Structure 1
Amino acid sequence: MNPTKLPLIDAEELARRLPMPQAIAALDRALRAGLDPETDVPRTVLDVQAGQLLLMPAASTSYVGVKIATVAPDNPAHGLPRIVASYLLMDAATLCPTALIDGSALTLLRTPAVSAVAVDHLAAADAQRLVVFGAGPQAWGHVEAVRAVRPITSVGVVARRPEQTAELVERCRSVGLSAEAVPPQAVATADVVACCTTARTPLFPAEAVADHTVVVAMGAHEPTAREVDGALVARATVVVEARTAALREAGDLLIPLRSGEVDTGVIAGNLAELVRGAVTVPPGRPKLFKGTGMAWQDLVVAAAAVDGSP
């Protein structure tokens, strides 16, 4: 096979083939059809000199795929992305390569799309106020994704770097949203909170979160890092992508589990159970969706991009 003939799907082509609403729909559809996140193959993490190398394979009846991602914490200081990835999609019957996809663009699409699936099943139908922590590409992706499932009219941005914060605020305004930089306490007025940071400690206290609010925490996938505190985990209805992944990688849950603040029964369900209506979501308490990123998500979105192309 001549590798030069392999279709290459870059960021621009991926966005053309699979806009955010279609990516959200593809993930929701796969879960409704019976995909079990609990059987996902754990990511392999190799520590290397500059950071980490991550391998994320997945398989379905139609496709097999693998994402190779690198996490280099020092890259932003050199004007380079912190995370860089490539995705190889293969035919399941022959294992012949079908497409090579910009894995970084794929991650920037599937991660907020997964969050939006959860928000669509947890947030009030009239949710209008979004507060996002972080001002990088994932922060904008979550603005775009949450807007696809709820009538968001205003966005508050909480971020450390004033220049990036101003850029995200302006980008939100350019699509007709009311947007401004806000302090962490602004979670008190939020219908949806999206945590899209590299923080290793909680971003805000649990008591600041309103009873109706949905909090999405997706920035950390390490057992020692978290974006929300144990008090929120104990207070909220907690939904995870998969129990297996959360109890292996999600510091937001593992840290309060280790301290005894909560036990594993705090997890109300996984994303598939939520989509299928099998999770009880009582009124009068916040909702927390904790994501770490899983290989099945990449495969579903990559396959949808290839199958849905003209």
Structure 2
Amino acid sequence: MNTILLDSDDVDEHAALGDVIDAVEQAFAAFERGTTQMPAKSYIDLPQYNGDFRSMPAYLDTGEWDAAGLKWVNVHPDNPEDHDLPTVLGTMIYSDPETAFPLAIMDGTTLTMKRTGAAAAVATDYLAVEDASSLGLVGAGVQSYTQLEAISEVRPIEEVVISDPDDERVQRFVETYEDRFDVCGGSISEAGHCDVLSTVTPVEEPIVGLEDVGERTHVNAIGADAEGKHELADALLEAATIVIDDHEQCTHSGEINVPYRAGTLSDADIHGEIGELVVGSKAGRTGETGITVFDSTGLAIQDVAAARVVYERASVDGAGYGFDMVGFEGSP
């Protein structure tokens, strides 16, 4: 039995967003039901390289299928300029839970992009107004593309406004999508007054204020993934219905981590976890007005769920490179 090696192109081709969104939604539900094992994300901080490593293992059982894996990922902001490498690099080991056989080793960078977009799509489906047709994006990096692709799977997005101080990145984004959407560059406030807003920046000083969003805007806060990062102003968070992916991760390194530590926000200000919305124990959007925020830190169960989609589809297609990693022939 061979292990399959899947590069970024293989992952991109076989991570069909509709399937990944469904798998991530099932993973959130399993998390809420308690049929997952997911140790806290561990960090290795490397200030000498302005970066860090993160280890993310998980197992989940949805009742229909189970899966296990480990993602080893980093964030090195200097990579693009200093080394011509992506800021985020990742490797996913996807294993058979019954035997622990390594079924696949795959690119975790593209996988991370896909499952992050999928998580925002799940949250958008539960928290955005039903007729949401406009999407704002703050930050024109690689995740902005996946946010649009994924969210347009769950809402009929027609208009897109993207805001970024780098005009060249904005132009590249506009040129990529101008044949599919009514897309233009704009201010943070113009992006924030869309029906859905996704923020995908690494800032530590909030850049989106309460006045920058509409009265019915749903916000996917994606950028905060480490202690001290903070995209949304406290006043915006205080005014919003807040849904998180995981309490421990969000209060440590999510969008709410700074105001939570300061005491500006407390558990009483958190409406619930996304899994509670999926299983129906907490309500999603209940009216045409009201600001909602999804604090997405990224869970290892999302990676495993997405990896299963990639592995299953790649296996059917005969994609990737198979090799004998284990080399076990049994007892003589």
Same fold judged by TM-score > 0.5? yes
Residue 224 of structure 2 corresponds to 220
Alignment of 1:7 onto 2:11: no
CA distance in structure 2 between the aligned counterparts of 1:102 and 1:28, rounded to whole angstroms: 22
CA distance in structure 2 between the aligned counterparts of 1:32 and 1:60, rounded to whole angstroms: 10
Q: Cα deviation per residue 1:112-169 (whole Å; 9 max; x = unaligned)?
A: 1011000011111111111101111100000101111000001111012111110011
**Distance 1:35-1:168 versus aligned 2 partners, 3 A rule:** farther
Alignment of 1:181 onto 2:185: yes
Alignment of 1:18 onto 2:21: no
Q: Cα deviation per residue 1:182-240 (whole Å; 9 max; x = unaligned)?
A: 01121453100000111122122112211211000011112211111111111111000
Q: Which runs of 5+ in 1 are unaligned?
A: none
Which one of 244, 269, 274 corresponds to residue 271 of structure 1?
274
Alignment of 1:147 onto 2:152: yes
Residue 100 of structure 1 corresponds to 105
- Check conservation: 1:240, 1:269, Cα contact below 8 A: yes
Residue 295 of structure 2 corresponds to 290
TM-score under structure 1 length normalisation: 0.93
Point out the more displaced range, 227-236 or 36-45.
36-45
**Distance 1:63-1:262 versus aligned 2 partners, 3 A rule:** closer
Alignment of 1:260 onto 2:263: yes
What is the root-mean-square deviation of aligned Cα atoms in Å? 1.9
Alignment of 1:197 onto 2:195: no
- Check conservation: 1:60, 1:92, Cα contact below 8 A: no
Point out the more displaced range, 188-197 or 233-242.
188-197
- Check conservation: 1:65, 1:89, Cα contact below 8 A: yes
Residue 117 of structure 1 corresponds to 122
Q: Secondary structure at the match of 2:20?
A: helix
Alignment of 1:91 onto 2:96: yes
Residue 303 of structure 1 corresponds to 308
Which one of 38, 41, 48 corresponds to residue 40 of structure 1?
38
Q: Secondary structure at the match of 2:256?
A: helix
- Check conservation: 1:38, 1:242, Cα contact below 8 A: no
Number of aligned positions between the proteins: 305
CA distance in structure 2 between the aligned counterparts of 1:268 and 1:288, rounded to whole angstroms: 10
- Check conservation: 1:155, 1:172, Cα contact below 8 A: no
CA distance in structure 2 between the aligned counterparts of 1:163 and 1:230, rounded to whole angstroms: 30
Amino acid at match of 1:134: G
CA distance in structure 2 between the aligned counterparts of 1:278 and 1:116, rounded to whole angstroms: 19
- Matched residues, percent identical? 29
CA distance in structure 2 between the aligned counterparts of 1:262 and 1:65, rounded to whole angstroms: 34
State the shift of 1:260 in Å. 3.1
- Check conservation: 1:230, 1:255, Cα contact below 8 A: no
Amino acid at match of 2:182: S
- Check conservation: 1:131, 1:156, Cα contact below 8 A: yes
TM-score under structure 2 length normalisation: 0.87
Point out the more displaced range, 138-147 or 197-206.
197-206
Q: Which runs of 5+ in 2 are unaligned?
A: 317-332
State the shift of 1:36 in Å. 4.2
- Check conservation: 1:36, 1:272, Cα contact below 8 A: no
Q: Secondary structure at the match of 1:113?
A: helix
